[in-house]
């Protein structure tokens, strides 16, 4: 399909797997020429992402978002070396919109199409040249978002080992549910973090799920239930602000302790197979939380690991990471057929050749 040799031109990346409609153009060296994210506010009244609303919003927003980044990069589709679009895992409606759009551009302009796994895109972000993190394989990725909570050994492009993951809720989901119990808005993470600043993190001793257990799986539903039980002990609608702040701070401390414990185990697991590994990267919206960042930084300091948290806009869903993952794969000579179907479920293990 390809008119121009790989790496001869810029790459367009498209991300539509959840509620962010995003596009980015990177040059052949991975420098960001243009990027745009349009977050869908239409979900706010529902307190969570509504898949059908998300799909319709992607349909409405994506053409303009792509046109904006192409104009800002000062290029036309004909100048592209390739088109990369998130093809899974995620909400199927959005995946169909984004990958269909990407394939359309690829067909019309005879460019290679790259079907990008969203988790791999998060995993490879740390290797963006502009970040200067020196993220050579292998390294450890802790992905903590509203939809995902996993520890991954990133061993190469297309080569990832899932060391552990949540057995119930994702970390961000736990923040969102606790925010709801406290009567805060959605998304809940930032609201809980703000309120926690006014509270005492030792006021309530909430459980530290799975602490000390082997492996690096996560669990948050028991912690959420413990928070709900404490709140239910107050008469309805009569939770004093200080008590709410103490609950928020104590919950956040429990999540931080749990993540720190699980990350410690993940480091040990990674070093069993890769004793030379020295970098832990955190990604996902929950990585915005300062208390969690400090806890993970402390774990890394203790265990002789470097700790890297990419800038927040690259931790949350974005298209720079999709374009970059596409570039990494293009450099290795890989390309996907236009028949590649979007996949709501697409475990990283299935990327291996």
Binding site for ligand KG4 (CB under 6 A): 18, 145-147, 172, 175-176, 187-190, 193, 284-286, 288-289, 316-317
- Distances from the Cα of 90 to the Cαs of 15, 59, 164, 220, 246, in angstroms? 10, 16, 19, 21, 35
Tell me phi and psi for residue 34, to 5 degrees. -165, 145
From the list Zn ion, ligand KG4, none, pick the one residue 102 interacts with, judged by a Cβ distance below 5 to 8 Å according to partner type: none
From the list ligand KG4, Zn ion, none, pick the one residue 35 interacts with, judged by a Cβ distance below 5 to 8 Å according to partner type: none
> What is d(CA 353, CA 350) in angstroms, rounded to the nearest whole number?
8
Q: Is 70 exposed, middle or buried (0-12, 13-18, 19+ CB in 10 A)?
A: buried
CB nearer to ligand KG4: pick between 54 and 157:
54
Nearest distance, CB of residue 248 and ligand KG4, angstroms:
11
> What is d(CA 10, CA 124) in angstroms, rounded to the nearest whole number?
18
CB nearer to ligand KG4: pick between 70 and 116:
116
Is 294 in contact with 302 (CB distance < 8 Å)? no
CB nearer to ligand KG4: pick between 38 and 145:
145
Nearest distance, CB of residue 81 and ligand KG4, angstroms:
28
Nearest distance, CB of residue 187 and ligand KG4, angstroms:
4
Greatest alpha-carbon span in the chain: 69
Nearest distance, CB of residue 333 and ligand KG4, angstroms:
30
CB nearer to ligand KG4: pick between 70 and 319:
319
**Which residue has the closest beta carbon to ligand KG4?**
189
Query: What tokens does 165 get?
Result: 């993951």
User: What one-character-per-residue DSSP string does 122-135 give?
Assistant: HHHGGG-GGG----
Is 218 in contact with 264 (CB distance < 8 Å)? no
Residue where the block lists tokens 């414990």: 261
Nearest distance, CB of residue 162 and ligand KG4, angstroms:
17
CB nearer to ligand KG4: pick between 30 and 187:
187
CB nearer to Zn ion: pick between 317 and 328:
317
List residues bridging with 116 in a β-sheet: 86
Nearest distance, CB of residue 344 and Zn ion, angstroms:
14
Nearest distance, CB of residue 143 and ligand KG4, angstroms:
9
CB nearer to ligand KG4: pick between 34 and 149:
149
From the list Zn ion, ligand KG4, none, pick the one residue 86 interacts with, judged by a Cβ distance below 5 to 8 Å according to partner type: none
CB nearer to ligand KG4: pick between 82 and 308:
308
From the list ligand KG4, Zn ion, none, pick the one residue 189 interacts with, judged by a Cβ distance below 5 to 8 Å according to partner type: ligand KG4
Which residues lie closer than 8 Å to 168 by C-beta, 6 or more apart?
219, 220, 221
From the list Zn ion, ligand KG4, none, pick the one residue 66 interacts with, judged by a Cβ distance below 5 to 8 Å according to partner type: none
From the list Zn ion, ligand KG4, none, pick the one residue 93 interacts with, judged by a Cβ distance below 5 to 8 Å according to partner type: none
Contact set with Zn ion (CB under 5 A): 145, 317
Is 173 in contact with 286 (CB distance < 8 Å)? no
> What is d(CA 314, CA 291) in angstroms, rounded to the nearest whole number?
19
From the list Zn ion, ligand KG4, none, pick the one residue 322 interacts with, judged by a Cβ distance below 5 to 8 Å according to partner type: none
From the list ligand KG4, Zn ion, none, pick the one residue 310 interacts with, judged by a Cβ distance below 5 to 8 Å according to partner type: none
Q: Where are the alpha helices (DSSP H) in the chain?
A: 51-73, 92-109, 118-124, 171-181, 188-196, 221-232, 241-273, 290-302, 312-315, 320-331
Nearest distance, CB of residue 294 and ligand KG4, angstroms:
12
């Amino acid at each position: 399909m390809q008119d121009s040799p790989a790496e001869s031109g810029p790459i367009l990346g498209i991300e539509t797997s959840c509620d962010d409609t995003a596009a980015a153009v990177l040059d052949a060296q991975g420098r960001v020429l243009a990027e745009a994210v349009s977050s869908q506010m239409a979900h706010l009244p529902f307190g969570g992402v509504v898949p059908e609303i998300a799909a319709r919003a992607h349909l409405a927003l994506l053409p303009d978002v792509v046109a904006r980044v192409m104009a800002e990069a000062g290029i036309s589709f004909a100048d592209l070396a390739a088109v990369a679009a998130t093809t899974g895992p995620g909400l199927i409606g959005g995946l169909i919109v984004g990958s269909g759009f990407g394939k359309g551009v690829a067909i019309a302009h005879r460019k290679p199409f790259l079907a990008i796994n969203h988790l791999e895109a998060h995993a490879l972000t740390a290797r963006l040249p502009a970040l200067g993190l020196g993220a050579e394989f292998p390294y450890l990725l802790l992905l903590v978002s509203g939809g995902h909570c996993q520890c991954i050994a990133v061993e190469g492009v297309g080569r990832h080992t899932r060391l552990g993951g949540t057995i119930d809720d994702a970390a961000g989901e736990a923040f969102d549910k606790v925010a709801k119990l406290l009567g805060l808005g959605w998304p809940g993470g930032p609201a809980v973090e703000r309120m926690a600043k006014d509270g005492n993190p030792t006021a309530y001793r909430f459980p530290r799920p799975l602490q000390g257990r082997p492996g690096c799986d996560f669990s948050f539903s028991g912690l959420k239930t413990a928070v709900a039980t404490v709140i239910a002990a107050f008469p309805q609608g009569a939770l004093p602000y200080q008590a709410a702040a103490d609950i928020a701070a104590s919950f956040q401390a429990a999540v931080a302790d749990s993540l720190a414990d699980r990350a410690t185990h993940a480091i040990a697991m990674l070093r069993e197979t890769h004793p030379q590994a020295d970098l832990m990267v955190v990604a996902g919206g929950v990585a915005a939380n300062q208390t969690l960042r400090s806890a993970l930084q402390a774990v890394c300091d203790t265990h002789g690991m470097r700790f890297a948290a990419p800038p927040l806009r690259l931790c949350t869903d974005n298209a720079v990471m999709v374009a970059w993952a596409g570039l990494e794969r293009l450099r290795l000579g890989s390309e996907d057929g236009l028949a590649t179907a979007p996949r709501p479920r697409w475990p990283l293990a299935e990327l291996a050749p």
